[in-house]
Structure 1
Amino acid sequence: MARLIVKSPYIKCTGSGNAAGVGGYLRYIGTREHVQKVADDRPPTRKQEQLVAKMLRDFPAVKDLDEYSDYFEHKTKANASALITMALEENWSAVSQMDGYMKYIATRPRAERLGSHGLFGDEDSVDLKEAMAELNSYTGNVWTHIISLHQEDAARLGYDSAQAWRNLIRAHRNDIAAAMKIPPKDFRWYAAFHDEGGHPHIHMMAWSAKPGQAYLTRAGIRQIKSVLTNDIFKQELLHIYEQKSASRDELVRQTRQEMLELIRTMQTGLCDHPEVETLMLQLAQGLETVRGKKSYGYLPKPLKALADQIVDQMERIPAVAQCYEKWLKLQGQVDSYYGGDERKRQKLFQQKEFRAIKNAVIQEAERIRLGEITFEDEDLSAADEPESARYNAVFYCQYRDKIYDTDLPLDERDYAVEQMTTAAQAGNPYAQHLLGKLYRDGTVVIPDAEQARDWFQRAAEQGLNVARYALGKLLLTDDPLVRNIPAGLYWLEQAQQNGSSYAGYRLGKEYLRGEIVPKDVPKALEYLNDSAQRGNQFAQYTLGKLYLLGRVVPQDRRLAERWLKLSAEQGNEYAQFFLDRLDQFRTPSALLAATHLLRQIGSMFHDNSLPKSGPTGIRYTDHKLRQREREKKIALGHKADDHEEYQGPTMSM
């Protein structure tokens, strides 16, 4: 893609009136003429060669100019002239004090004219003498922007005349002022167009009416380049976008699909990584000495380096490494479509989009240090709120299945909801429970926590145990419209007393956490034991881990093994993970560290799997929409870490 080149040196003005200073530069850019073209086979003159050699000694950065590349590849008189001109203009502040260069400048011919000279600015006409006098008496810094295009790009896009450049700069003078931290009313500028060699360009002198006010950073230069580029190339960018939108969409689809497969691997698998365990234990020990906030930005350098090392180890896991490569490929391709800078390959811990991984590492280490209990129950969603297999009324099953059938037209699903509502209003507790879930999850209907609570309560008061459990969870959420901790605990206890192993497990978790109720380990163990004896694999796993850790209860490997085996027999992979490592004498909480981190990394890749912006500044907010959906579900009955959400019309236990 064509590109705009912007360079922004500046001259320190003394107000001495020196004609070779800033005023002289203004006269130079306003009165010299573009170089006459000569045949490419004409070699440079000896004086040109000598001057180029001197410039390379005096100003080594000349080698970075495009004009130098042209001259180096084709040493012609025209290319030498273009190189000398650009090199002189970029180094004017030093050149103006050197007699050898000033002699060369004094003999140069004039610029393309818009009247008696080539200067233009805010006004329709510029008085060269007055402008020079103004600058010669100025005591602040004057920036001498050089903005250029390749010859073929300038011709194709219509920027091969002073008029086009004047219109462009006038249209964006306030944008340039903002980039230079100058209020528009104080912004002063003049410019002239030079059709030089293969790089037509303008010289723009810009300053503030108030000396010392202007300030231009690298970010400001990028800002100037961006706003001018968007205008110059807007039609071409739109054309390219139209041509490539289909291929971009296909690239995004294919790459995201590949990433999602790898993400699923990260989010469902377990990770045995002894190196990460060792480093996590070291970090946990190091956090003992940290006072105040435990986040990456507040840690001493040695602990930051340790966190970076842990992320680096995680990057070596094949699924993470492959997913990261896919992400880099996707971002690089999309960036190239929109003319962005080439994305450099960095380590994962250096990538700004994934800096949250470092804080995830620190939080995991802090949990290890504090001995916090974690609940690995992601699979609970697959068995949440089982309905009674005994209730198989034809009308209920028929309309329930239609409601959840996403292949059906929406009007058919709406009709099924209407029929289910009629049955619920008539007092059917199963229909009431189902409506509660629909309003809680926003399935077909608009989410409404109060409606969900009311329907759950009607069913719960009729003795439907799954409704008691659902109502208890909903009342424990952070949604102020429905939050009622005493009532939530009451309904969970009612469900538990009537045989719900899920309610017993949830109550056990709450009394172990001690967040919404005072921590009560004996009471938690009572609920967990009841739930585990009823066959709940999550309660069995939790008990097994507690007896293995030996922190809140005395360590008992026999009991730990018993409960872990019962849980593993039901397919609990975490329980099997610990069983396989009972004889390895590794810290149980550290054993899970890599798995917890792997799943969080998977979530971060999922949230970063779309490009953030397009050619017209559109923000892609897929990850934000997912976050809002997650927050909505939390507000409607799901804790952030229990993942308890019904995912289909399953009727069996």
Structure 2
Amino acid sequence: MARLILKSPYIKSTGGAAGYLRYIATRERVEILPDDRPPTRKQEQLIAKLVKDFPDTKTLYEYWDYQTKPTKAAASAFITLALESNWDALHQSEQYMKYIATRPRAERLGSHGLFGDSDSVSLEKAMEELEHYTGNVWTHIISLKREDAARLGFDNAMAWRNLIRSHRNEIAAAMKIPPADFRWYAAFHDEGEHPHIHMMAWSAKPGQAYLSKEGIRQIKSKLTNDIFRNEMLHLYEQKTESRDKLVRETRRAMLDLIQSMREGICNHPDAEQLMQKLAAQLETVNGKKTYGYLPKRLKRLVDEIVDEIERLPVVRRCYEQWLMLQGKVDSYYHDKPREQIPLSQQKEFRQIKNAVIREAERLRQGEITFEERDLGQQDEPDQFRNSSYEYWRLQEILREEQMTLEERSEAVCELEKLAKDGDRYAQYLLGKLWRDGPLLIPDGVESRYWFEQAARQGHLVAQYALAKLYLSDDLEVHDTARGVEWLRYAAEGGSSWAMYRLGKELLRGEIMEKDTAGAVDWFTQSAERGNPYAQYILGKLYLIGKEVPHDKEQADLWLTRSANQGNEYAQYLLDYMEEGRSSSAMLAVTRLLHHMSRVFQDNSIPKSRPGGIQIDRKRLKKLREKKIALGHKPDDHEEQWPEMTM
């Protein structure tokens, strides 16, 4: 059950807006005594008619109270607010109005209960403005439970006035009204078990305002966050242990599923066939190839692909966990639990649709992709040959996480002294610490300096690391020409990883002139030195037969060698060769699965969580991407998994 209820009907230009304003400002006080007697027959008849004519009244607190304990007093409270919620339809209907027998008071701030932007509100001037107004006027009714209002200090007009004033521009924005044109008045009604305010809002320019369901949600969200801020922070800081335990357990299960998605290879023939169908039909699409610009028939096909992937057990379970997690927060904002609609229709995941289109387009164009799981954890192997005992000792201390931070920091200081004395191994390791942290704050300039010192002394891995740093997105050190120069230098020096990266850049043709023959030559040299990624891409090229002539024997040879080193993609391509299925379609669907895992990860923190978590999450993501671009080896913390390069 929602903690705050917001109803937002409106009065048409020809309706009684001025009369409604006087009504909410000057309601006569009628003291309601507790009355536990059953409702009268007339009350029951009127309630039945109200819920039939206006089904939305069932969402009012008063209706729930009446359903729980049908008494005369509860019936009266519901009838009153139900009629007020539908003023525009009922204010001229004697059939309804004659039943209103009670008028709980409006708390007066002077001669009336009206308040607004000004400290002094003239009821007569406000009514005169509305009598000549030709646009629609929205009549928001914002209601709290008595215990919530009393506990949180919202059982008086002053608190509500301050609340609405502080959010008036946000309410205006939700109603599509510029702040300067926004007009509003409200009155607080300290009524029964559900104190509430009646708020009238409109634009100074008739026809300008517009309030959608999303706008109502935004208003409700802003007010709920403010009213319940302390309680919600209390909740999210794990002081409401029972609820937060569920959130943590649910999210942990979801993150485990995301990891499975991130590492999985998708074997889904139906989705593969649909992707091939979409790829073929994109040939007929001119202009922008995004979901919003596609014809309806192709939009339906994209949705069908997303729904097919949702049928994968790991995706289905992850989506169910996400719905459960988000539902814990939604219960603060919505009356009903979130409906489990298909993933393709869930707005938080709509970016998946454009990912489907991008992958289909890559499939159509036959674009070569590189499946490089865990590459960043293997491409800089440790070098100890001819290293000093002192370097070996310090390296072991830095690697040992059981050591205290003080001991490891002292080792960094000793390592720096060793590096300054010209030890190339220490220089390379110091460059890594400046690049990756955590014992040093990442600094690309410092990292470049020490990598270069080691590289110029012939440290092969340092040469490759320096090339990667120059080719990274770090603007302080980015230099494509120098990056390519050091990459070629390391490749010619015998680094199989530099050979692989050089072949990759030659095949892509993005930072250097495309040279397929040269790329294949470097891939071959790297593969012959046992590099599993080079073996995989070489076998894939011979299998697809686009960049080089199709050669099943060569494809089988290199894919087998890569698979024997644990490359799952190579093994799957070998299996697909036997089944006669399209390896490109399988890889496209697999990339979609991995993309979906990232979307789930981004949504694994509830959207409505207060306290700036969205900014923190974006900063965390940006930092992680920057560190990966610099060659950082991400740890396996649940928030920081490595991105796959596909």
TM-score relative to the length of structure 2: 0.86
- 8 Å CA contact 1:544–1:563 kept in 2: the answer is yes
Alpha carbons of structure 1 residues 584 and 479: separation in structure 2 relative to 1, 3 Å: same
Alpha carbons of structure 1 residues 554 and 86: separation in structure 2 relative to 1, 3 Å: same
Decide which of 315, 323, 326 is 2:321's aligned counterpart: 326
Q: CA deviation at 1:398?
A: 0.8
**Cα displacement string for residues 600-627 of structure 1 (whole angstroms, at most 9, x for unaligned residues):** 3233333333334534454363454133
Q: CA deviation at 1:156?
A: 4.8
The answer as to 2:126 corresponding to 1:120 is no
The answer as to 2:399 corresponding to 1:407 is no
Alpha carbons of structure 1 residues 356 and 172: separation in structure 2 relative to 1, 3 Å: closer
The answer as to 2:365 corresponding to 1:370 is yes
Alpha carbons of structure 1 residues 294 and 85: separation in structure 2 relative to 1, 3 Å: same
5 Å-filtered alignment, 1:386-401, equals 386-401=381-396
Query: Partners in 1 of 2:109 and 2:597 — Cα distance?
Result: 65
| Aligned twin of 2:627 | 632
| Aligned twin of 1:3 | 3
Query: Which one-letter code corresponds to 2:12 in the other structure?
Result: K
| Aligned twin of 2:636 | none
Q: CA deviation at 1:278?
A: 0.9
Q: CA deviation at 1:68?
A: 4.3
Moved more, 324-333 or 194-203: 194-203
Partner secondary structure for residue 390 of structure 1: coil
5 Å-filtered alignment, 1:428-467, equals 428-467=423-462
Q: CA deviation at 1:455?
A: 2.5
Alpha carbons of structure 1 residues 461 and 22: separation in structure 2 relative to 1, 3 Å: closer
| Aligned twin of 1:651 | none
Q: CA deviation at 1:42?
A: 4.8
Q: CA deviation at 1:399?
A: 0.7
Decide which of 513, 518, 522 is 1:523's aligned counterpart: 518
Query: Which one-letter code corresponds to 1:383 in the other structure?
Result: Q
- 8 Å CA contact 1:544–1:559 kept in 2: the answer is yes
5 Å-filtered alignment, 1:560-599, equals 560-599=555-594
- 8 Å CA contact 2:141–2:199 kept in 1: the answer is yes
Partner secondary structure for residue 139 of structure 2: strand
| Aligned twin of 1:44 | 40
The answer as to 2:41 corresponding to 1:32 is no
| Aligned twin of 2:296 | 301
Q: CA deviation at 1:63?
A: 4.9
Number of positions where the alignment pairs a residue of Structure 1 with one of Structure 2: 636
Query: Which one-letter code corresponds to 2:310 in the other structure?
Result: E
The answer as to 2:276 corresponding to 1:281 is yes
Query: Partners in 1 of 2:377 and 2:238 — Cα distance?
Result: 44
Q: CA RMSD in A?
A: 3.6
Partner secondary structure for residue 115 of structure 2: coil
Partner secondary structure for residue 141 of structure 2: strand
Alpha carbons of structure 1 residues 124 and 44: separation in structure 2 relative to 1, 3 Å: farther
Query: Partners in 2 of 1:71 and 1:253 — Cα distance?
Result: 36
Partner secondary structure for residue 605 of structure 2: coil
Partner secondary structure for residue 319 of structure 1: helix
Decide which of 342, 354, 364 is 1:347's aligned counterpart: 342
- 8 Å CA contact 1:10–1:142 kept in 2: the answer is yes
Query: Which one-letter code corresponds to 2:530 in the other structure?
Result: G
Partner secondary structure for residue 197 of structure 2: strand
Q: CA deviation at 1:170?
A: 5.8
Partner secondary structure for residue 11 of structure 2: strand
- 8 Å CA contact 1:336–1:342 kept in 2: the answer is yes
Partner secondary structure for residue 289 of structure 1: coil
Question: Highest CA radius of gyration, 1 or 2?
Answer: 1
| Identical-residue share of aligned pairs (%) | 56
**Cα displacement string for residues 152-185 of structure 1 (whole angstroms, at most 9, x for unaligned residues):** 4445555555566556556655655555455666
The answer as to 2:150 corresponding to 1:148 is no
The answer as to 2:489 corresponding to 1:494 is yes
| Aligned twin of 1:648 | none
**Cα displacement string for residues 299-321 of structure 1 (whole angstroms, at most 9, x for unaligned residues):** 22222222222222222222222
Q: CA deviation at 1:363?
A: 2.1
Alpha carbons of structure 1 residues 585 and 627: separation in structure 2 relative to 1, 3 Å: same
Partner secondary structure for residue 204 of structure 1: strand
Alpha carbons of structure 1 residues 192 and 366: separation in structure 2 relative to 1, 3 Å: closer
5 Å-filtered alignment, 1:33-432, equals 33-34=29-30, 36-37=32-33, 39-44=35-40, 46=42, 48=43, 51-52=46-47, 55=50, 59=54, 61-71=56-66, 76-101=71-96, 111=105, 114=108, 118-122=112-116, 132-157=127-152, 159-160=154-155, 165=160, 169=164, 176-177=171-172, 179-180=174-175, 188-208=183-203, 211-212=206-207, 214-234=209-229, 236-237=231-232, 244-247=239-242, 250-336=245-331, 342-432=337-427
Gaps of 5+ in 1: 15-19, 645-653
Gaps of 5+ in 2: 634-640
Alpha carbons of structure 1 residues 146 and 403: separation in structure 2 relative to 1, 3 Å: same
TM-score relative to the length of structure 1: 0.85
Query: Which one-letter code corresponds to 2:8 in the other structure?
Result: S
Alpha carbons of structure 1 residues 86 and 554: separation in structure 2 relative to 1, 3 Å: same
Query: Partners in 2 of 1:494 and 1:112 — Cα distance?
Result: 83
Q: CA deviation at 1:395?
A: 0.8
Alpha carbons of structure 1 residues 416 and 341: separation in structure 2 relative to 1, 3 Å: farther
